[in-house]
């Protein structure tokens, strides 16, 4: 897929059938925000992906979820090497800074503009280094990798909650329930 010459997908192949999708960045961000929401179960997140992304629900839910996740990763996900595993931003927590960075770098007003998810991703990957958002990402990465200077660590502490981006909880519902039960048993035993 070449974003410069190929038409961006508005359908996904699930099994042998193509299904129309809602490819607008706002729809896709809604799905991403659901996946960031620790209050939702994995099943609830998958339901949101299916019902928000697909205009007509495919019959093969598992294949549709895989196709949807591949689409959300964008064309870059097909060729990108495995990342560091560090979570450096959150579309919910950093929303204002991301909005401002789009305005500053690309002159795009995300409130007014509609665009394909993959266009959004391409612009997102090229946000200017002089934006507050990118400076925050750089600081988070330096602190999380242990490469931050004393001054940078102090600046991170001063930012407080605005600096912290928790890693996503990828445990299953059963694993979370087992931990909750275990922690409760520790509380009763003491």
Confidence of residue 79 (pLDDT cuts 50, 70, 90): very low
pLDDT value of position 68: 97
Which pair of structure tokens corresponds to residue 46?
A: 């998958």
Confidence of residue 82 (pLDDT cuts 50, 70, 90): very low
pTM of the model: 0.82
Q: Which residue has the tokens 């690309």?
A: 106
Q: How far is CA 128 from CA 29, 44, 70, 106, in A?
A: 21, 35, 26, 9
Fill in the DSSP letter of residue 91: T
Structure tokens given for 18: 């193509």
Dist CA 45 CA 64 (whole Å) = 13
pLDDT band at 81 (very low <50, low <70, confident <90, very high): very low
Q: What is the pLDDT of residues 2-56, one digit of tens each?
A: 889 999 999 999 999 999 999 999 999 999 999 999 889 889 999 999 999 999 9
Name beta bridge partners: 12: 19
> CB under 8 Å to 134, separation ≥6 — which residues?
101, 127, 128
The DSSP element (H or E) to which 169 belongs, if any, is: none
> 116: which strand partners?
24
The domain locations on the chain are 11-79
- The backbone torsions φ and ψ at residue 11, rounded to the nearest 5 degrees and listed phi first, read -140, 150
Instruction: Quick: pLDDT tens for 123-178.
Output: 999 999 999 999 999 999 999 999 999 999 999 999 998 898 877 666 555 666 67
Whether 92 and 33 have beta carbons less than 8 Å apart is answered as yes
What pLDDT is recorded for position 171?
58
Give the span between the Cα atoms of 183 and 69, in whole angstroms.
33
């Amino acid at each position: 897929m070449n974003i410069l010459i190929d038409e961006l997908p508005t359908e996904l192949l699930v099994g042998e059938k193509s299904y129309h999708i809602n490819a607008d960045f706002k729809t896709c961000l809604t799905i991403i925000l659901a996946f960031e929401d620790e209050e939702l179960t994995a099943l609830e997140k998958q339901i949101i992906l299916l019902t928000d992304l697909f205009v007509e629900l495919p019959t093969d839910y598992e294949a549709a979820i895989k196709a949807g996740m591949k689409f959300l990763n964008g064309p870059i996900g097909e060729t990108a090497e495995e990342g560091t595993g560090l979570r450096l931003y959150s579309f919910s927590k950093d929303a204002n800074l991301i909005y401002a960075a789009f305005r500053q770098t690309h002159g795009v007003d995300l409130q007014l503009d509609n665009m394909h998810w993959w266009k959004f991703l391409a612009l997102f990957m090229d946000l200017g280094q002089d934006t507050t958002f990118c400076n925050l990402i750089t600081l988070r990465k330096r602190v999380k990798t242990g490469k931050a200077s004393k001054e940078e660590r102090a600046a991170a502490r001063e930012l407080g909650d605005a600096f912290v981006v928790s890693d996503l909880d990828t445990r299953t519902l059963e694993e979370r329930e087992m931990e909750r039960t275990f922690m409760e048993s520790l509380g009763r035993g003491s």
